[in-house]
Structure 1
Amino acid sequence: MTHAWTFLRHALCTLLLMAAAAAHADGAPPYLDSAQLHQLQAVLAPPSVPGSPEDRADRGVTDRAYAHRNKKDNALAHAEEEFDVFAFSRVLGPGFDAKRLPRTAAVFTEVQKETAKAVSEAKKHWQRTRPCPLDSCRKDPEGDEKDLKKKSYGYPSGHSTRATVFAVLLGKALPARADTLAGYARDVGWRRVVRGVHTPQDIYAGRVFGQALAAAFLANPSLQHDLDEAAKELAQAGFNPAP
């Protein structure tokens, strides 16, 4: 009887985890629809005119940052090429893990998908070419052409946008960590400059866009409910949500 109860309890826990992880699976409505994502692009001002003094100065910052990058920042920039919310384990600790936090993973998987859609549309609209410091996009001195780091447009930075959205939403779930989360998001953006794939202007645009997207997400009742559930999960896992 004891073994049967143990089995049932484990089975129930497994089903609950599967249900949490399946949130916003096929058929579930998005937090923000296509029209809302499109409207939010109005917060972005046009980037510098190509070849203008402002444009050259902006790209010059990337040239210098790339040429003088240190090994630590360069390694982190490479590691962050594939970037999701659990990259914030760098400041939250190794316990911040998708397998351990399925509800949190479900919320931010959907947020990331919708954010990527908004960024992709904005990039295609502005069509700002990425920088090419030290001819890196043609010579590929780092041997990482497979990352296709020069194949898409640069404005706004997807990493900067995504990191900002993640930091704002996580900051609501973990208010005591809000400043730390925001700082890491800024660092993620800057390391895209160090990586030589964005200019500061791309990064700042991503921060503005990310703030606007985060505010719209937080205004959605479904997101609020799911984020509250994620906050409970984080508290149960040992992350203190209160200041």
Structure 2
Amino acid sequence: MKKMTHNPFLALLLVAGSACAAPAVAGTAYLSQAQLDQVMAALPAPSAPGSAEDQADRAATDRAFAARSQADFSQAEQEEKFDAFAFAPVIGKGFRADKLPHVAALFKEAEHETKEAVDQSKDHWKRLRPCPPASACAMNPEQAAKKSFGYPSGHSSRATVDAILLAQLFPQDADALMQHAHEIGWRRVVKGVHTLQDIYAGREFGQALATDMLASPAFQHDLAAAREELRAAGLAPVPSHAP
């Protein structure tokens, strides 16, 4: 298992440059179950329920929810469902799923595998979500009980994976892409559905998943097709990392 890093882009771009270039069959999964198991095993346990640390973590969500701006809350509502094309404000308006089927297929697979790993981890840790006063959870506890567990945050994990993989196609936007991913995660706290600990765990989790994806021949095969599609679409040309 590769060591997780809080400063991923330089290291991950180097990984992409040295990744195996052997042919791969399109549609092949990027990660094996063994790799998913390794990533999940490396995620540290959340705070013990009811501990002082756990209570402080939940209190921070209560404060963020109480101080929310309408703009941030509305954006969080819009991001309830999102994919890599939600990063178009960073990349440009030409970055659209209907115009880029190879790019869309690559991120659909990456996001699917990320969700599987997140769901397994949530079911393992079974950390309850926060429930700030006057939030949707507090107003409708029966509906809230149907939600998945909170650790790690799926939005934070997926946004991190998307940002790191998008940086392979748009390296000039790497910092802005990661900042956008952080904002997606933060707005889950503003919405009152995750704690900061959930969000930070999602960042660690997403970084580890993306690292292993970048080393996958199947991913590199699909990434090459995505690069060519972007060039043909007239978006900013991206140099190949192939030797």
TM-score by length of 1: 0.83
Question: For residues 155 and 183 of structure 2, what CA distance do their matches in structure 1 show?
Answer: 11
1:212 deviation in Å?
Answer: 0.2
Root-mean-square deviation (Å): 1.8
1:149 deviation in Å?
Answer: 8.6
Contact 1:174 1:239 in 2 (8 A): no
The C-alpha deviation readout for 1:219-241, integer Å capped at 9, x for no partner, is 00110121122122223323324
Contact 1:129 1:154 in 2 (8 A): yes
Contact 1:174 1:231 in 2 (8 A): no
Aligned match of 2:59: 60
Contact 2:29 2:218 in 1 (8 A): no
Q: Where do residues 187-198 of structure 1 align in structure 2 (5 Å cutoff)?
A: 187-198=183-194
CA 1:190/1:241 → structure 2, altered by over 3 Å: closer, same or farther?
farther
Gaps of 5+ in 1: 1-22
Letter in 2 for 1:101: L
Aligned match of 2:45: 46
Letter in 2 for 1:31: Y
Q: How many residues align?
A: 212
Contact 2:76 2:187 in 1 (8 A): yes
The secondary structure found in structure 1 opposite 2:152 is: coil
Q: Where do residues 94-133 of structure 1 align in structure 2 (5 Å cutoff)?
A: 94-133=93-132
Aligned match of 1:157: 153
Give yes or no for the alignment of 1:174 onto 2:170: yes
Give yes or no for the alignment of 1:70 onto 2:69: yes
Question: For residues 126 and 241 of structure 1, what CA distance do their matches in structure 2 show?
Answer: 43
Question: For residues 160 and 126 of structure 1, what CA distance do their matches in structure 2 show?
Answer: 17
Give yes or no for the alignment of 1:234 onto 2:233: no
The C-alpha deviation readout for 1:25-67, integer Å capped at 9, x for no partner, is xxxx311122221221122100001111111111111001101
Aligned match of 2:139: 139
Contact 2:61 2:194 in 1 (8 A): yes
Give yes or no for the alignment of 1:199 onto 2:195: yes
1:242 deviation in Å?
Answer: 4.4
Contact 1:130 1:150 in 2 (8 A): no
Aligned match of 2:215: 219
Letter in 2 for 1:168: I
Contact 1:176 1:240 in 2 (8 A): no
Aligned match of 1:33: 32
1:151 deviation in Å?
Answer: 1.2
1:135 deviation in Å?
Answer: 4.8
The C-alpha deviation readout for 1:170-215, integer Å capped at 9, x for no partner, is 0011101111111100000000000100000000000000000000
Question: For residues 56 and 175 of structure 1, what CA distance do their matches in structure 2 show?
Answer: 39
The secondary structure found in structure 1 opposite 2:98 is: coil
The C-alpha deviation readout for 1:49-95, integer Å capped at 9, x for no partner, is 11111111111110011011001101110000011111111222221
User: Alignment identity in percent?
Assistant: 56
The secondary structure found in structure 1 opposite 2:97 is: coil
Contact 2:132 2:138 in 1 (8 A): no
Contact 1:235 1:241 in 2 (8 A): yes
Letter in 1 for 2:54: D
Aligned match of 2:92: 93
